[in-house]
Amino acid sequence: MTRFSFRSFVSSRNHFRTVLFSIVAVFGLAVVFAYATDTTAKVRIGEMPKSSVAKFPLRMSTGREISLMDLRGKVAVINFFAVWCGHSRLHTQTLTKFGEEDTRRGLQIVGLAVDDAETTPQRVSEFIAQMKITYPVGLVTDDVFKKYVESKDLSVPQTLVYGRDGRLVGHFIGHDDSVAAELTETIKRELDKQ
């Protein structure tokens, strides 16, 4: 039969507390680290873009400038892509399926190539021709990209869809069949609203 020892009881309780404290501390640090390094976009669906973003002039390859403010009253689709990215190509194919009839109904797509070491105006022009893009395309820096998506996640493609009232109605990151279907459905739904 084991004898009860107050000293061993206190020692085992202290050991238990130390282990418990360590577990809680590690878990707490993991939560803080995950929160601090969260690079995903904030959920801003239903919100208006910041005024500085809405008024920011985006220069297109033609020299024309477009801002979100200019696009109020239309269904505005802002697509950030990279000329070297396979997913960006697939995503662009989804967007180029929208045609003149959709434009007449109020759709405005804007493509924004993210400026990097592999992106030149010539490569952007080649991308436009290869992908048969008929909507305006410009070149933007990472800083502009960050302001629009309000995130450190600068993976491409990323697409923002704004309703006619200027509110964000969709934010799509990456590309696969489900993203293509949801993006298409979101654009069609917004075009149907008057």
Domain boundaries, the chain: 1-38, 51-192
The answer to whether 162 touches 76, Cβ cutoff 8 Å, is yes
Mean pLDDT score, 140-166: 95
Using H for helix, E for strand and C for coil, what is the string for 57-85? Answer: CEEECCCCEECCHHHCCCEEEEEEECCCC
Segment among 8-22, 47-61, 147-161 with least mean pLDDT: 8-22
Mean pLDDT score, 167-172: 97
**What are the tens digits of pLDDT across the range 106-121?**
999 999 999 999 999 9
Measuring CA to CA, which residue among 156, 151, 16 is closest to residue 84?
Answer: 156
pLDDT of res. 31: 37
Residue 132's pLDDT band, with cuts at 50, 70 and 90, is very high
Mean pLDDT score, 169-177: 97
Asked if the model's pLDDT at residue 52 lies above 70, the reply is: yes
Query: So what's the architecture of 51-192 in CATH?
Result: 3-Layer(aba) Sandwich (3.40)
pLDDT of res. 34: 37
Residue 130's pLDDT band, with cuts at 50, 70 and 90, is very high
Residue 20's pLDDT band, with cuts at 50, 70 and 90, is very low
Mean pLDDT score, 147-166: 95
Residue 32's pLDDT band, with cuts at 50, 70 and 90, is very low
Asked if the model's pLDDT at residue 9 lies above 60, the reply is: no
Residue 93's pLDDT band, with cuts at 50, 70 and 90, is very high
Residue 62's pLDDT band, with cuts at 50, 70 and 90, is very high
Q: How far apart are CA 160 and CA 178, in angstroms?
A: 16
Q: Which amino acid is at 173?
A: I
pLDDT of res. 44: 87
Give the long-range contacts of residues 179-182, CB within 8 A, separation 24 or more: 179/91, 180/90, 180/91, 180/94
**How much is the pTM?**
0.78
Burial class (CB in 10 A: 0-12, 13-18, 19+), 10: exposed
**Both structure tokens of 163:** 């309703």
- The chain-wide mean pLDDT, for the chain, equals 85
pLDDT of res. 1: 53
